[in-house]
Amino acid sequence: MRQEAGAGEVATASRFSLARFPLIGQNSAAWFASFGIHFLLLFVLAVVSLAIPNKPDELSLSYESLDLPEEIDPLSDEFISSENPMEEAGALGQSGDSSALASAVVIDDRSLVLFEPDVITDYGERMVIEVNSPVFQGPEITEDLPVQGAGSVVTTGAMGAIDRITSEILVSVEQQPTLVVWLFDQSGSLRNERTRILRRFRSIYEHLGIIEAAANPAFRKHEDKPLLTAVVSFAEQSQVLTPKPTDRLEEIQAAVAAIKDDESGRENVFRAVAKVAEKYRSYRLARNGRRNVMIVVFTDESGDDVNRADATTDLCRKLAMPVYVVGRPAPFGRPTASVKWIDPDPDYDQRPQWVPVNLGPESLMPERLKLHFLGAGNRDDSLDSGYGPYSLTRLCYETGGLYFSAHPNRTVGRLVSEYRTSELATHFTAFFDPEIMRRYQPEYISTKEYRRRLSKNRARYALVEAAQLSWTSPIGDVRTRFPKRDEASLSEALSRAQRAAAIRQPKVNQLCQVLLAGESARDAIKSPRWQAGYDLAVGRALATKVRNDGYNAILAFAKQGMAFKKEKNNTWVLAADNSFANSSLEKLAKKAEDYLNRVLLEHEGTPWAMLAQRELSSPLGWRWDEDFTYLPPLPGQLAGNGTPPPTPRPTPRPKGPPRRNPPEL
């Protein structure tokens, strides 16, 4: 009974399922076949439609000309805009809308100094100095905007530098409280300058608002003062003249007035700066208001302790203390310059005397040959380098300060005579446009890095090596007049001149060999300063060799005998000419002129171009001219009438006021 029932239940279920889905049960095979065929046809059609490209629609364009007026009124100046694309929006000004300038990608004066202050431990308290100095950008060059690391800033006097430093102090005070240390050189040559600065101090501090702030009850506490000042003097040793930094103008003026002239002649400026940095480093700490500390130095020399420059620079950089120096320009490629000194006492001789002082060079090592120009004798005119002494300028450069190159006779485009040079000023024959000289800034790096870069380029290394050789073995001028009393005396004079040329010859040959050894690396130099320096050195060295070799050859020719064209003449004179003794000298002269002309073409308006022009002003060859020279009879020799010549009496010199030697400046 159970089996029958179970079979019946299964049959009933099967019938129920088939009845519900009749197609699946009866025609399932046909249905699936039809579905597969239709799906395949749809897939094929989709693939074909994608494979066959559509024919693009043909479009026709037309335009109509517009009738525009023939003349369009130009926009006013207020609406003129830059054609260059703008990457940044806005204008950065310090005086509100009146000083806002349209920014453009014409000039981008960015800070060349990137501060990465080290962690400093002071009295067991760890502190990281935060430097947040503003950097200005804009299309205009203006002395009102401080650009850190710009090297030297030229000015005609210390007063102009004071105005710029005042603006630097204002910027610092706006950031946070500030301590300014005025560091004065005690040399006598700065006496007048100290007096002028002292008279200017009241207006400086009135401009800074310090006098008004001193009476403000909000600044009664010493640590709350917005600006504190310290005064220090230095010579061989330094002396702090304000026992404690102050904001009282009377104390500041009294400290400056108390500075006495030093007669030691020593100016250890780097030792003084380091001492100031160590003394006031605690003012950078939070317990003393985390003040900015600025060091302002007044000096007129490069310093007698240059060996301390690296250590002092590293110290001030780590402490984030910018150093500003008001000094003198460095002579181009020379370590010393001459200062004009006139005795201040009218009872003594008032004729100027020239005192050598250490002011250069503007580079770490000599990069200019010491060669005399034809006919200049031992005279070597000083040129303005456009920058300050290397070590002092580097101190300013790496700490974010500025070196103010002050000279009262700064005139671009005109030669300056010794007569027009001001008293206690260095004599420079020529000054150069600071805008042009910006491209020729020296590399302010450590001695180790300087030597490493020399080793990377043979032309650079050759220039410095040749410059050092020319300084250790200077090459003098040549004799060009040879009076003929008789054949024997003339032959002796020519032989002495030949011996002098023979002594010069190996020195000149060595200079040329050293420089030409780096010729293959010349094109790898990218710095305009090094390009100009190398080309000028090669051109002048080759020109000196051509002149010296030709000089020796033409003297040998004269020893064979020459006759005067005019009977009254008795002197042979060598004059510069474009004729040469042989073709090899002519070829060498052509190479020298090519180097010098390249300096003129690529470095116009620079001291290198001026020196190249002066070298080219005289031809490199020689010729003989004749002249007359009065030759007095020799002692014991009879005059023309057979009588001994009268003994000449010395002309008495007019008596004048006594002459004193100048002091140490």
C-alpha of 308 from chain center: 21
Give the DSSP H or E segment for 184: strand 178-185
Percent of the chain with pLDDT over 90: 46
* Distance in angstroms (rounded) separating the CA atoms of residues 302 and 330: 8
The DSSP element (H or E) to which 256 belongs, if any, is helix 249-257
Mean pLDDT over residues 201-226, rounded? 63
Angle of helix 309-318 versus helix 269-279 axis, rounded to 10: 30
Q: What is the pLDDT of residues 71-110, one digit of tens each?
A: 555 544 444 455 555 444 443 333 334 334 443 434 444 4
CA-to-CA distance for 618 and 576, rounded, in angstroms? 6
Say if residues 339 and 422 touch (Cβ distance below 8 Å): no
User: In this structure, is the dihedral angle defined by the CA atoms of residues 191, 196, 202 and 206, taken in order, positive or negative?
Assistant: negative
Residue with more model confidence, 9 or 559: 559
Instruction: Note the pLDDT of residue 314.
Output: 94
Binned at pLDDT 50, 70 and 90, residue 462 comes out as: very high
In this predicted structure, what is the pLDDT of residue 233?
95
Q: What is the DSSP secondary-structure string of 415-460? A: ---TTTSPTT-B--SBB--HHHHGGG------HHHHHHHHHH-HHH
pLDDT band at 21 (very low <50, low <70, confident <90, very high): very low
- Per the CB < 8 A criterion, the answer to whether 484 and 572 are in contact is yes
DSSP H helices in 570-641: 583-602, 607-616
Query: Which pLDDT tens digit goes with each residue over 296-330?
Result: 999 988 999 999 999 999 999 999 999 999 999 99
Q: Report the pLDDT value the prediction gives residue 69, as an integer from 0 to 100.
A: 53
Largest CA distance in the chain: 187
- Distance between CA atoms of 445 and 115, rounded to whole angstroms? 15
Rounded Cα distance, 362 and 405, in Å: 11
- Closest Cα partner for 484 from 571, 383, 614, 573? 571
Would you state the pLDDT for residue 449?
A: 93
- Distances from the Cα of 220 to the Cα of 226, 248, 250, 285, angstroms: 11, 12, 17, 20
Residue 559 near residue 491 (C-beta atoms within 8 A)? yes
Give whole-number Cα distances, 575 to 375, 543, 578, in Å: 10, 15, 10
Q: Which residues pair with 232 in a beta bridge?
A: 183, 240
Mean predicted confidence (pLDDT) in 529-545: 97
pLDDT in tens, 480-514: 999 998 889 999 999 999 998 999 999 999 999 99
269 and 299 in contact (C-beta within 8 Å)?
yes
Q: What percent of the chain has pLDDT over 70?
A: 73
Nearest to 612 by CA among 562, 540, 661: 540
Side chain identity, residue 425 = A
Average the pLDDT over 216-236 and give the result.
76
**Which one, of 606, 600, 597, lies nearest residue 438 by Cα?**
606
| Element housing 493 (H / E) | helix 487-516
Please give the pLDDT value at position 522: 95
Q: How distant is the alpha carbon of residue 606 from its chain centre?
A: 12
Q: What angle do CA 593, 595, 601 make, to 5 degrees?
A: 95
Instruction: Give the HSE-up count for residue 647: Cα atoms under 13 Å, Cβ half-sphere.
Output: 2
**Is 319 within 8 Å of 284 (Cβ atoms)?**
yes
Cα–Cα distance for residue pair 529/442, rounded to 1 Å? 7
pLDDT the model gives residue 627: 94
Q: Between residues 626 and 6, which one has the greater pLDDT?
A: 626
Give the integer Cα–Cα distance in Å for 468 and 507: 12
Asked whether residue 218 carries a pLDDT value surpassing 50, the answer given is no
**Residue 61: what pLDDT?**
52
Average pLDDT of span 149-153: 60
The neighbouring-strand residues paired with 178 are 227, 292
CB neighbourhood size of 332 (10 A):
28
3-state secondary structure 122-150: ECCEEEECCCCCCCCCCCCCCCCCCCCCC
Average pLDDT over residues 201-224: 61
Question: Is 578:617 a contact under the CB 8 Å cutoff?
Answer: no
Going by the DSSP 8-state scheme, the letter that residue 632 receives in this structure is: P
Element (H, E) at 71: none
Residues 6+ apart with CB under 8 A from 367: 333, 361, 463, 464, 467, 530, 533
Q: What are the backbone angles phi and psi of residue 414, rounded to the nearest 5°?
A: -145, 140
Q: What is the pLDDT of residues 569-618, one digit of tens each?
A: 999 999 999 999 899 999 999 999 999 999 999 999 999 999 999 999 99
User: Among all chains, which residue has been given the structure tokens 């090094």?
Assistant: 530
**Averaged pLDDT of the chain:** 79
Model pLDDT for residues 614-656, shown as the tens digit of each residue: 999 999 999 999 999 988 877 655 555 555 656 666 666 667 8
Give residue 161's pLDDT. 81
Contact 412, 391 (CB under 8 A): no
For residue 361, say if its preceding peptide bond is cis, omega within 30 degrees of 0.
yes
Predicted local confidence at residue 11, as pLDDT: 44
| Mean pLDDT of the region 189-201 | 82
Given a cut of 80, whether residue 205 has pLDDT beyond it is no
Q: Tokens for 664, please give them.
A: 């140490």
Residue 532 makes CB contacts below 8 A (sequence gap 6+) with: 440, 599, 602, 603, 606, 608, 609
Give me the phi and psi of 342, to 5 degrees please. -120, 130
Q: What is the pLDDT of residues 349-399, one digit of tens each?
A: 999 999 998 898 999 999 999 988 887 766 777 899 999 999 999 999 999
Find the mean pLDDT for residues 217-226.
Answer: 61
**How far is it, in rounded angstroms, from Cα 99 to Cα 122?**
42
Residue 51 banded pLDDT, cuts 50, 70, 90: low
Q: Give the β-pairing of 323-327 and 403-406.
A: parallel
Q: Give the three-class secondary structure for 358.
A: strand
Cα(227)–Cα(213) distance, integer angstroms: 9
Residue 188's pLDDT band (cuts 50, 70, 90):
confident
Partners of 621 in the β-ladder: 577
Residue 521 CB coordination number (10 Å):
16
Question: Beta-strand (E) ranges in 469-570?
Answer: 481-483
Region 406-423 average pLDDT: 89
- pLDDT confidence of residue 136: 40
**468 pLDDT above the threshold of 80:** yes
